[in-house]
Amino acid sequence: MAKRILIGEPLTSEKLDEQLLPKKMALPIFASDALSSVAYAPQELLMILLIGGTALLTLSPWVAVAVVVLLI
């Protein structure tokens, strides 16, 4: 009940086509957020490891492996 009040009634099948963005417009709008997150994540992770001291720098290869796995 609360969900219907906050979000509203579900759209019918006829109205769904009116709500969709074309792929040429949707990709540049929504993909930039994911790209910027991927671009800054390794730098921020390594900065935290550097602030943590040289003892934590032993973790940096594992962080790099995790980033590579996420990018693949």
What is the C-alpha separation between 64 and 70, in angstroms, rounded? Answer: 10
Q: How many domains does the chain have?
A: 1
Q: Residue 24 has what pLDDT? A: 83
Is residue 1's pLDDT more than 80?
A: no
Specify whether the CB–CB gap between 67 and 45 falls below 8 A: yes
pLDDT tens by residue, 16-68:
777 778 888 887 777 776 667 777 778 888 888 778 777 767 887 888 899 88
Q: What is the pLDDT of residue 3?
A: 81
Helices 23-52, 60-71: axis angle to 10 degrees equals 170
pLDDT of residue 34: 67
Return the closest-CA partner of residue 68 out of 42, 33, 36: 42
Its domain, for residue 42, covers 2-71
